Structure 1
Amino acid sequence: MKNLFIYSIVLFLSASCSSSTEEKAAAPEKATDENAVSLTEAQIKNAGIETGAIQSQNMNSVLKVNGVVDVPPQNIVSVSFPLGGYLKHTNLLPGMHVSRGEVIGTIEDQGLVQLQQDYLMAQARLHFLQQEYDRQKELSEQQVSAAKTFQQVQADFAAQKVLVKGFGEKLRLININPASLNENNISRSVPVYSPINGFVSKVNVNIGKFVNATDVLFELINPDDIHAALTVFEKDLSKIKVEQLVKVSFVDEPGKEYDCEVILVTRNVDVNRSGTIHCHFKTRPRNLLPGMFLNGSIHIENVPALTVPEEAVVRYGNKEYIVQATGENKFQLVAVETGIRENKRVAVSSTSTELSGMQVVTKNAYAVLGKMKNTAEEE
């Protein structure tokens, strides 16, 4: 009886193990890649899936960028007064137009009177030393006076000429002509003239303020070379060439565009991985001021690219993909970055996969993506 019981247990365990083994053998293997799927001929036909090769072609596009109105450093003029003094008068306001040679301010100071006085006194003494020099030279030639006396007068005369020359250059610094200065027109104030034709961008002083020689009174801008400085990302810089057409618009006139031409593309990239291109206005807008924000459209022509139809690109999550046909009705996703779009085709690129000549789904790619993800969820 005992032996019969043991034999029954052995048979039960053997049957259980056999059943477990058969269930494991019958269970299908789970897919290891959720980005790949196999379809039957019927599924491909019913879904209307078509394939084709990635094509290489030249494309035209419009690159949207932003920028500001800029002025080169040589067209920005800081006006100072070299000798210092009190600002007696000015009527400048930012934005006002000024002409070259126009009086834009008046400086007053007793030091200006002293400089003119010193010059005239030095000029008078120079006249006296000139006469003394001529007299001593004649006496020296006749050997009437000692050579030492002539040499002393000669040295004094040369030193006085240097002094007069120095005072004269100081007067020219403040726009006073030494040749026209005399005791009757000594002035305690002198005018400050505009050195350029342009407009005022900054006024840093007020009437009655004392200014030092290093202080900037006014900042003027010559608009002749005012231009658009546009910021372009690193990946697009190589597409832009000199003389390329650019259209810009301003925030206050979004519907009106102005034609520009690329004159310079910078050869360096900043910390934001972008560079600057400089563009001249073919027709300069009125009331154009440095620092104004603008939008730009750069027309890019004949850019070589690998392209697929727009419907060949699918989006899943936050990424874009194309569906590669790997053969035998098998498909897999390939992550790509899209670029230029033209005539219902889009440029694609990938840093991890060689795309040239690849066979991809060109129609109903989302049907393959849906089957792929549904199959992964079922498994």
Structure 2
Amino acid sequence: MSLPIYFAGCSNPGSEKEPEKEAVHEKSDIVTLTPEQHKLSEITLGDIELKELSGTTKVNGMLDLPPQSLVSISTPLEGIVKSTDMLQGKRVTKGALVAVMQNPEFIQMQQDYLDYKSQLQFLKQELDRQEELAKENVNSKKALQKARSEYQSVNARLLGQRSKLSLLNISFPALEKGQIQKTFNLYAPMSGYVTQVNTNIGAFASTTDVLFKIADTEHLHAELTVFEKDVPKLKLGQKVRFVLANEEKERIATVYLIGREISKERTVQIHCHLDREDTQLLPGMYLKAYVESGMNKVEALPDAAIVEFEGKKFVFIDQPALKDSKDYRYRMMEVKTGVAENGYTQVSFAEPISEAKVVVKGAYDLLSKVKNTGEEGEGH
């Protein structure tokens, strides 16, 4: 490779000869920076990585929650919100109080329960008496049937009222002691984060209103949208590499379910489980993903490490400093590029470079120095 780059200063004819030590020229593919220039360039070194860039399917998607990890809280009995301290983003644990409700009907329900319970005690005594009389053939069968019917009817009402009050989280031991509650409480059915608050103190809430939503973000999954033509490439257990819209780091998931219905847009939904859970992630985050359909790994570098010069692709390799010099040296090497995905590009070198460090940040600054030096060389 030959580049028109010169790093030694040009001298005019007739000028005094420079000392031989300073007249030594660097190779045309070596870029030298002084410590000051190096600091301004903010150069970062990295390694050539092995990446699965071939045999992949590029898809889009978003983080989502399975139905069992998202709960909507409504009131089983309409009423007024007396108090709540729920805020979006608040962490709640299972069984935590989310709201206190009030409704005069709730008081009447408790009174009805106590009334049914009292009636049932009387009817049970009457039923026992009629059964004793029937054994002695003193009463008629009609009287016994009537006593049994009345007992069963009130018992059914009592059980029904008990079920209704159970939905309102009533304390039956306290109620049966005559302690009637004026309000009823709503509790969190699971632990998670509050994602929606649709009410406020003093607001009326019907049984169809969703007052709060709680999401358990410990089990988020990646929901991918795959075009019909790419579905045959997908299999259960395949690895998925994805990057969130607000991040640069790569995450890994595994294909868990493949949808069996094609949408109007000719796409299929793919359900993936995250290999590493992260409670800081939120449902609804958009992502770009690559589904691995092959296991061949290739040498790759971040896109920022590769520059283009005179129609060819190059990278800069860190070089040892010269003896008694504090300057930084980088060798400009031509590379062949291949598949480019997710911020990385496949590279191959004409010659082995062992475990040399590559400039992964600041390569364009080095290229600028190459261009400027080349222009100076042509000008002389």
The yes-or-no answer on 1:277 pairing with 2:270 is yes
Report the equivalent of 1:223. Answer: 217
Report whether the alignment pairs 1:121 with 2:139: no
Instruction: Read off the aligned partner of 1:293 and give its amino acid letter.
Output: Y
> What per-residue deviation string (whole Å, max 9, x for no partner) do you get for residues 297-349 of structure 1?
3223179xxxxxxxxxxxxxxxxxxxxxxxxxxxxxxxxxxx9789799xxxx
* Structure 2 contact 127–147 (Cα < 8 Å) conserved: yes
- Contact kept, 8 Å, 1:266 with 1:276, in 2: the verdict is yes
- Residue 208 of structure 1 pairs with residue 183 of structure 2: no
Q: Hey, what does 2:232 align to over in structure 1? A: 238
RMSD, aligned CA: 2.6
**Could you say which residue in structure 1 is the equivalent of 2:309?**
none
- The Cα shift of 1:140 comes to 2.9
Q: What's the CA shift for 1:180?
A: 4.7
Partner of 1:182: 176
Where do residues 75-86 of structure 1 align in structure 2 (5 Å cutoff)? 75-86=69-80
Partners of 2:153 and 2:265 lie apart in 1 by 61
Q: Greater strand percent: which structure? A: 1
Give the unaligned 5+ runs of structure 2. Answer: 1-52, 297-337, 349-380
Match of residue 253 from structure 2:
260
CA offsets per residue over residues 235-285 of structure 1, 9 Å max, x none?
A: 32222221111122222222x111111112223333333322221111122
* Aligned residue type for 2:259: T
| Matching residue's letter, 1:260 | A
In structure 2, what is the Cα distance between the partners aligned to 1:149 and 1:234?
Answer: 74
Give the one of 284, 288, 307 matched to 2:281. 288
Percent sequence identity is 37
Counterparts of 1:153 and 1:111 in 2: how far apart (Å)? 30
Give unpaired runs (5+ residues) of structure 1.
1-58, 304-338, 346-379
Structure 2 distance, partners of 1:298, 1:257, is: 13
Instruction: Give the alignment of 1:296-315 within 5 angstroms.
Output: 296-301=289-294
List per-residue Cα deviations over 1:13-48 (Å, max 9, x = no partner): xxxxxxxxxxxxxxxxxxxxxxxxxxxxxxxxxxxx
Deviation at 1:224, TM superposition (A): 4.4
Task: For 1:202 and 1:343, locate their aligned partners in 2 and report how far apart those are by CA, in whole Å.
Answer: 45
**Structure-2 residue corresponding to 1:70:** 64
User: Could you say which structure has the higher helix fraction?
Assistant: 1
Question: In 2 relative to 1, CA 249–343 (structure 1 residues): closer, same or farther, beyond 3 Å?
Answer: closer
Following the alignment from structure 1 to structure 2, what is the Cα–Cα distance between the partners of residues 214 and 60?
Answer: 51
The offset of 1:108, in angstroms, is 0.8
> What TM-score do the two structures reach when normalised by structure 2?
0.60
Higher alpha-carbon Rg = 1
Q: Is the Cα contact below 8 Å between 2:217 and 2:283 reproduced in 1?
A: no
Report the equivalent of 1:321.
Answer: none
- Give the secondary-structure state (helix, strand or coil) at the position aligned to 2:130: helix
Could you say which residue in structure 2 is the equivalent of 1:52?
Answer: none
Distance 2:144 2:226 in 1: 75
Task: Tell me, in whole angstroms, the C-alpha distance in 1 between the residues paired with 2:95 and 2:254.
Answer: 33
Aligned to 1:87: 81
CA distance in 2, matches of 1:278, 1:264: 5
Q: Name the counterpart of 1:194.
A: 188
State the partner residue of 2:320. none
Q: How many matched pairs?
A: 251
2:224 touches 2:271 (CA, 8 Å); kept in 1?
Answer: yes
Amino acid at match of 2:230: D
